[in-house]
Structure 1
Amino acid sequence: MTFRLFPLLAALALAVVASSATADTLLMERTQKESAMALPTRGMSMNQVESRYGTPRSKLDPRGGNKPQHPVINRWEYDNFIVYFERTHVIDAVAKRADASELGPKPVN
């Protein structure tokens, strides 16, 4: 019985390794494309971001701020990226997708 399970487990392990290798490649490609985009940089003020990139598509409701160790986090959504602010300064900017052909994660059913 153990000998029947071995080929199944080996095939499963191979499938997992192959899929993770593909994911790593896609992540590396996305990182390269993202680094080529002109995103807001850490430390820029809200005024600097708005003057350089224009008015955001939406300014999402702030989160946090209930304790000194949990500062207010603001998120501004642009067409191709989202900017995260701690209080009034950029802490990160993330591309929504690297290009129009990117599929992204599968939706959760």
Structure 2
Amino acid sequence: MNLKSIVGTALLLALSIPALPAAHAESLLLQNVERERSRDLPQRGLSMAEVERRYGAPLDKLPTAGGGQPRQPPINRWRYADYTVYFERDRVIHAVASPAS
């Protein structure tokens, strides 16, 4: 088998693989991003006290991760009914809508 036929075979195989799973995953990701943008989620920089005052007590305060070394600050996660808030030390770094069920 020469290089030309190997490349041709590889190209034919690549083109015959359906792109549906990747397109479906991308669609789900975009739906989640749009849901996050349309929601009133805690914004970056708010303190834990501000989040609790504005959004109420979380359903669950998950165990702290990291914090064992200076370059690994403690990360806290608070779970609400349909989103999770991530904190670095006591400040919001991100809020993520829960996946659609």
* Interval of TM-score (by shorter of Structure 1 and Structure 2): 0.7 to 0.9
Output aligned runs, 1:73-84, within 5 Å: 73-84=75-86
Partner of 1:68: 70
Q: Aligned residues: percent identity? A: 44
Aligned residue in 1 for 2:94: 92
TM-score by length of 2: 0.80
How far is the alpha carbon of 1:18 from its aligned partner?
Answer: 2.3
Which of 28, 34, 39 is the equivalent residue of 2:41? Answer: 39
- Unaligned ranges ≥5, structure 1: 104-109
1:9 correspondence with 2:13: yes
Aligned length: 93
Superposed structure 1 runs of 4+ greater than 2 Å apart: 8-12
Q: CA deviation at 1:60?
A: 0.8
Structure 1 residues 26 and 63: alpha-carbon distance in aligned structure 2, compared to 1, 3 A threshold: closer
Higher relative contact order (Cα pairs below 8 Å, separated by 6+ residues): 2
Stretches of structure 2 that go unaligned for 5 or more consecutive residues are none
- Give the partner amino acid of 2:13: L
Cα-Cα RMSD: 2.1
